[in-house]
């Protein structure tokens, strides 16, 4: 996977946590600073049920992106959980666990990303790409219709020419027949 793919996963995971009312949602860019992951996503929760909801929402959204979770930890804990997506590690913990693990200090050299702005830009770019794709399809369809109309006109013209030619041939044959009948009567 490319760095941009991992970034996309991190942004989606951050948005999933935020959608379940997690607080202090952060995305840290670790590219080149860690062998563990390219990005870390962290969020603070208030309760065990909220922790469960954040983790489930993250997993559901990333599954829609064809991203399978590689590993989980803390499944019995009501205070902290982690999900491993290869280049992206997602942490959710309560305030006490957040202070205890102090990942902000552990990853102090990482670059904090404005994930909301990045997510907005990513969605806008995807929207523009879909629009461009749709316009390209429309242009292809219009070109195909134009070609089809030309073909129909050519076929129609050829059909008219064939009808005209057939009519002339029929008239000539009728005239010859009339001439023959007249010649036979004259004899």
Question: Rounded to 5 degrees, what are φ and ψ at 72?
Answer: -135, 155
The number of beta carbons lying within 10 Å of the beta carbon of residue 124 is 10
The pTM is what?
0.71
Helix (H, G, I), strand (E, B) or coil at 110: coil
- CA-based nearest residue to 36, from 80, 88, 103: 88
What mean pLDDT do residues 17-46 have?
A: 94
> How much is the pLDDT for 45?
97
Q: What is the pLDDT of residue 158?
A: 61
pLDDT confidence tier of residue 84, bands split at 50, 70 and 90: very high
3-113: what fold?
Answer: Beta Polymerase; domain 2 (3.30.460)
pLDDT for 34: 85
Q: 172 pLDDT exceeds 90?
A: no
Residues of the chain above pLDDT 70, percent: 84
The residue-averaged pLDDT of 82-100 equals 95
Q: What gap in Å lies between CA 37 and CA 73, rounded to an integer?
A: 16
State pLDDT tens for residues 121-148: 999 999 999 899 888 888 777 777 777 7
- Site of tokens 């992206």: 88
Domain locations in the chain? 3-113, 128-187
Average pLDDT, the chain: 87
């Amino acid at each position: 996977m490319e760095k941009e793919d991992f970034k996309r996963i991190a942004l989606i995971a951050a948005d999933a946590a935020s959608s379940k009312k997690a607080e202090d949602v952060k995305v840290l860019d670790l590219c080149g600073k860690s062998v563990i992951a390219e990005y870390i996503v962290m969020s603070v929760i208030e309760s065990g049920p909220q922790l469960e909801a954040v983790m489930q929402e993250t997993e559901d959204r990333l599954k829609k992106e064809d991203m399978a979770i590689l590993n989980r930890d803390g499944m019995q804990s009501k205070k902290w959980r982690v999900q491993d997506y290869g280049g992206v590690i997602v942490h959710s913990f309560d305030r006490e666990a957040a202070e205890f693990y102090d990942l902000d200090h552990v990853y102090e050299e990482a670059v904090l990303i404005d994930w909301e702005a990045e997510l907005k830009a990513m969605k806008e770019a995807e929207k523009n790409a879909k629009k461009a794709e749709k316009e390209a399809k429309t242009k292809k369809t219009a070109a195909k219709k134009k070609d089809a109309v030309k073909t129909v006109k050519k076929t129609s013209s050829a059909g008219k020419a064939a009808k005209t030619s057939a009519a002339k041939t029929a008239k000539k044959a009728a005239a010859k027949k009339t001439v023959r009948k007249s010649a036979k009567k004259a004899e």
